[in-house]
Chains A and B, each alone.
Chain A
Amino acid sequence: MIIEFRLNHEKRTIDIDPSARMLDVLRDDFGLTSVKEGCGEGECGACVILVDGRAMNSCILPAGAVCGKSVVTLEGFKHTKRYRAIENGFLKAGSVQCGFCTPGFVMATESLLNENPHPTDEEIKDGLSGNLCRCTGYNMIIQGVRLAIKEGEGLW
Chain B
Amino acid sequence: MQFRGQSVKENIGTSILRVDSRKKIRGEAEYIADWKFDGMLYAKTVRSSKAKAAIISITLPEIPEGYAVIDHRDVPGVNRMRTVVSDHPIFAEKDVQYIGQPILLVVGPDRETLYDLAAQIDIQYREEPALFTLEEAEAHSRVFTDYHYKKADPEKYFHKAERIIEDTFSTGYQEHVYLEPQGMAAEFKGDTLFVYGSMQCPFYVKHALIETLAMPEDNVRVVQTVTGGAFGGKEEFPSLNGCQVAVAAHKTRRPVVMIYDRAEDILCSTKRHPAKIRYKAALDKNDTVVALDIDVLLNAGAYNGLSPVVLQRAIFSATNVYNIEHLNVRGRNFMTNTVPSGAYRGFGAPQTIFGIEMLFHTIALKLGLDPLEYKMRHLLKQGDPTCTGGRVHETVKMPEIIQAAVERSGYYDKLRTNKKFQGIGIALFLHGCGFTGKGESQIRGKIVLQKCRDRVILKVSSVEMGQGAETVLRKIVANTLDLPIANVLCEKIDTGLIPDSGPTVASRTTMIVGGLLHDAALEMRARWDEGTQFEVSKIYEHPDYLSWDDETFRGDAYPVHSWGANVAEVEIDPVSYELTVKRITAVYDVGVPIDERALIGQMQGGIVQGVGWATVELMESEGGKLKQGNLTDYKIPTSMDVPDIACYFISNPYEFGPFGAKCAGELPFVGAPPAVAAAVSNAMGCAIRDLPITPEKLMETGHDH
List A79-127 residues whose CB lies under 8 Å from chain B.
86-88, 90-92, 94-103, 106, 124-126
Whole-angstrom CA separation of A141 from B21 in the bound complex:
13
A134 pairs with B179, CB closer than 8 A: yes
B261 at the interface (CB under 8 A from A): yes
Given known A43-B632, A96-B21, A97-B467, contact A138–B642 (CB-CB < 8 A): yes
A137 touches B20 (CB 8 A): no
A40 to B33, CA, bound (A): 14
Q: Does A136 interact with chain B (Cβ within 8 Å)?
A: yes
Knowing A40-B262, A139-B642, say if A134 contacts B24 (CB, 8 Å): no
Q: Does A33 contact B (CB under 8 A)?
A: yes
Interface check A129, CB cutoff 8 A: yes
Closest chain B residue to A100 by CB distance?
B228
The distance in angstroms between the C-alpha atoms of A131 and B31, with both chains bound, is: 19
Mark B149-184 against chain A: 1 for CB-CB distance below 8 A, else 0.
000000000000000000000000000111111000
Min CB–CB distance B296 → chain A (angstroms) = 27
Instruction: Find out whether the CB atom of B179 lies under 8 angstroms from the CB atom of A136.
Output: no
Q: Are B26 and A125 in contact (CB under 8 A)?
A: no
Residues of B within 8 A of A97 (CB): 229, 466-468, 601, 605
B residues near A40, Cβ cutoff 8 Å: 261-263
Q: How many residues of B contact A (CB 8 A)?
A: 57
A56 to B233, CA, bound (A): 29
Report the separation of the CA atoms of residues A41 and B629 in the bound assembly, to the nearest whole angstrom.
12
- Cβ of B638 and Cβ of A132 under 8 Å apart? yes
The residue on B at minimum CB distance from A92 is B17
Residues in B neighbouring A141, C-beta threshold 8 A: 639
Contact: A43 with B20, CB < 8 Å?
A: no
User: A12 near B: Cβ within 8 Å?
Assistant: no
> B639, A100: Cβ atoms under 8 Å?
no
Most buried by A among B18, B24, B261, B598: B24
Q: Mark B244-271, 1 if CB is under 8 A from A, else 0.
A: 0000000000000000011100000000
Say if the beta carbon of A75 comes within 8 Å of chain B.
Answer: yes
CB A71 to nearest CB in B, in angstroms, measures: 15
Whether A137 contacts B27 in the complex (CB less than 8 A), given A41-B631, A100-B179, comes out as no
B227–A75 contact, CB under 8 A? no
Residue among B261, B601, B608, B636 making CB contact with A94, cutoff 8 Å: B601
Task: State A93–B197 Cα separation when bound (angstroms).
Answer: 29
* Chain A, residue nearest B467 (CB): A97
Judge whether B30 is part of the interface by a CB distance below 8 angstroms: yes
Determine the main DSSP class of A at the interface with B.
loop
A137 partner residues in chain B, CB cutoff 8 A: 601, 604-609, 637, 642, 645
Q: Are A39 and B262 in contact (CB under 8 A)?
A: yes
Q: Are B231 and A134 in contact (CB under 8 A)?
A: yes
- Of chain A, the residue at the smallest CB distance from B468 is A97
Give B15's nearest chain A residue, CB to CB: A94
A8 interfacial contact with B, CB 8 Å? no
B226: nearest residue on chain A (CB-CB)? A99
Closest residue of B by beta carbon distance from A35: B27
B607 touches A38 (CB 8 A): no
| Inter-chain contact A38/B262, CB cutoff 8 Å | yes
Closest to B33 in A: A37
Cβ-defined partner of A129 (8 Å) among B22, B638, B645: B638
Asked if A133 is an interface residue, CB under 8 A from chain B, the answer is yes
Q: Can you name the residue of chain B whose Cβ is closest to the Cβ of A89?
A: B25
- Is B323 located at the chain interface by the 8 A CB criterion? no
Residue B628 is within 8 A (CB to CB) of chain A in the complex:
no
| Bound-state Cα–Cα, A34 to B637, Å | 24
Which chain B residues border A73 with CB–CB below 8 Å?
27
Determine the chain B residues whose CB is within 8 A of the CB of A124 once the complex forms: 639
Q: What chain B residues lie within 8 Å of A39 (beta carbons)?
A: 262, 630-631
Contact check, A128 vs B639: say whether CB atoms are below 8 A apart. Answer: yes
- Residues of A participating in the B interface, judged by any CB pair closer than 8 Å: 33-41, 43-44, 46, 73-75, 78, 86-88, 90-92, 94-103, 106, 124-126, 128-129, 131-142
Which residues of B line the A interface, CB within 8 A?
Answer: 1, 15, 17-18, 20-31, 33-34, 176-181, 226-231, 261-263, 465-468, 597-598, 600-601, 604-609, 630-632, 636-640, 642, 645
Q: Would you give 11 A-B contacts (Cβ < 8 Å), ordered by A?
A: A33-B34, A39-B630, A96-B24, A98-B179, A132-B179, A134-B176, A135-B179, A135-B229, A137-B605, A137-B607, A138-B637
Add 10 more A-B contacts to A34-B27, A98-B229, A132-B638 (CB < 8 A): A37-B261, A38-B181, A39-B630, A44-B262, A91-B21, A94-B600, A97-B467, A132-B631, A137-B642, A138-B637
